Structure 1
Amino acid sequence: MGFANRMNGIPKYVVSATLGEPGWSNSTVIREDIAEEIVELKRRSDGGILVNGSGHLVRTLAEHGLVDEYRPMVYPVERQQAAA
């Protein structure tokens, strides 16, 4: 419950050209001028900004010099062997 409450309580920004209104509380959609919006967000932010699940967005931010630190996460997958 603690994690869900934390996630529901913090501001979230969704970068999308197609999403209308986000369905999650405290969410804002960024549609245009992504780099400019992130510069402003970084200026207003007290802490770090986490990008989760978008390689394309990370590349865009890196191209504009907006990535301060990378923390790659690896999720191992175990394959099952086919029956002989």
Structure 2
Amino acid sequence: MDINRRIAVDGSLSNLKKHLHLYGYEIDDLNANNLGEVSAVITNGEDSNLMEAREIATPIINGQGHSAEEIKNMIENGLSGLM
């Protein structure tokens, strides 16, 4: 699958994973080993080490409190130059 449609999502956001998959995204579980292989990272906002990582070029989105539609829009707006 195209890396632009591949995102990593924190395991605690299972409902969000399901909805983003329905929007056509390939979903990977979030882990430190796949950050360079996805076009966006969706966290639950609790992993401060990840949120503070300055060397990561991949966009990091706090998915806590956002709907799947809002996250989809954030991904597509943030990645519009890549798609």
- Normalised by the length of structure 2, the TM-score is 0.34
Q: Which is strand-richer, 1 or 2?
A: 2
User: Highest relative contact order (Cα 8 Å, sep 6+), 1 or 2?
Assistant: 2
Bigger Cα Rg: 1
- Normalised by the length of structure 1, the TM-score is 0.34
